[in-house]
Amino acid sequence: MILEEISNYKRTLRLYINGVGCIGAFTFAAVQLSTSYTQMFLLSMICGVYFGIVSFFLFKDGRYLWKGRGILAVLPTTLLFAIYSNPEFGVYWVYVGIVTLFLMLELIDAAVSSLVFTGAAFFLVSGHFETDVLFRIYSTVILVGAFSFCFSYLIDRLLDTLNATATHDPLTKALNRHTFHKSINAALEDHQRYQVIGVLFLFDLDHFKKINDEHGHITGDKVLRDVSKIVKNRIRETDQFFRYGGEEFAILLRHTPLQNAAFLADDIRARIEEYAFTDGIRVTISGGISEVDSSIGVNTWIERTDTALYEAKSSGRNNIKIHIPALENWSSEAIA
């Protein structure tokens, strides 16, 4: 919810900026036309059209056209031409250009483009002011650029922190349950629209309550963190790993055939069983696997996987079961 609000705020801010830019560019173009300044009129019109197009898509469906990078083709050119034509007054556009670039672009794009833009502007004004005036101009422009960069950097860091807090479990650093439901809904939609295959793997730690009772919750937390590391070291970057609740975890495997997912699940089971946990604790897991099916909903998909997990526990634990309509009973021993 927080991330969605932040995303909507950024989108609204960029809509307002582009809207104001569109009005301002067309107004400036009208002024230039009245003074018969044809070149500046055309450049201003191009800026106005660009801002208008970006505003239209932001307003229509929230899409930020080209991630705002189209501005690099119009705004710096227009402002540098204004500086070249009239350095004494055009130099003030440097401040506007730097702030606008940091507001409209992602941090790296804004930093690189503002450095190039500032360097070109410095070159254009260098021969038109006294040394002491140039020093003031250079100093204030550099300060504006530095403050803009620091502000954008801190905002990016804040967003990264909020994203990690909103989407990850603080103990295991796995994705959290809220993210799980969003991801599995997206996986089902991709399968229904584009026939993208996918497998859900649910597992939990056998007799984990006993570990907490005999060794304490601090040791139990360490076991959960170690299990998380084992899983993360085994899965691909494209796979999604979640803490589903308590000692229960989930892995969403997109673009993965059922057989491959079965071998992966059993390999994770074996790695956890063989791992040397703290205090000599032996940890095993029981798991269930189910393939995405366009004829069912998300809840049914989860229920199928959870049923397979329950069967794994009922059949002695430390094994994997798979739910297939035509073959209900499958265990990790069957692969060996």
Predicted local confidence at residue 326, as pLDDT? 56
Residue 322 lies in a domain: yes
One domain for residues 141 and 187: no
Predicted local confidence at residue 8, as pLDDT? 84
* Nearest CA-CA partner of 288 in 184, 200, 185: 200
One domain for residues 81 and 210: no
Last residue of a domain, one of 112, 144, 167: 167
For residues 103 and 112, give the distance between their C-alpha atoms in angstroms, rounded to a whole number.
14
Last residue of a domain, one of 114, 136, 167: 167
**The model's pTM:** 0.77
Does position 334 have pLDDT exceeding 60, yes or no?
no
Predicted local confidence at residue 1, as pLDDT? 58
One domain for residues 232 and 290: yes
One domain for residues 139 and 213: no
One domain for residues 194 and 274: yes
Residue 21 belongs to domain spanning? 2-167
For residues 219 and 11, give the distance between their C-alpha atoms in angstroms, rounded to a whole number.
45
Residue 232 lies in a domain: yes
One domain for residues 143 and 46: yes
Catalytic status, residue 247 = yes
One domain for residues 50 and 26: yes
* Nearest CA-CA partner of 250 in 285, 284, 278: 285
One domain for residues 123 and 257: no
* Nearest CA-CA partner of 56 in 15, 27, 26: 15
**Segment 150-178, tens digit of pLDDT:** 999 999 998 888 888 889 999 999 999 99
Does position 129 have pLDDT exceeding 80, yes or no?
yes
One domain for residues 193 and 70: no
Polymer length in residues for the chain = 336
CATH code at position 321: 3.30.70.270
Q: How many domains does the chain have?
A: 2
Q: Assign 23 a pLDDT band (cuts: 50, 70, 90).
A: very high
Catalytic residue among 4, 106, 214, 247: 247
One domain for residues 193 and 57: no
Instruction: Please give, one letter per residue, the 3-state secondary structure of 92-150.
Output: CHHHHHHHHHHHHCCHHHHHHHHHHHHHHHHHHHCCCCCHHHHHHHHHHHHHHHHHHHH
Last residue of a domain, one of 101, 132, 167: 167
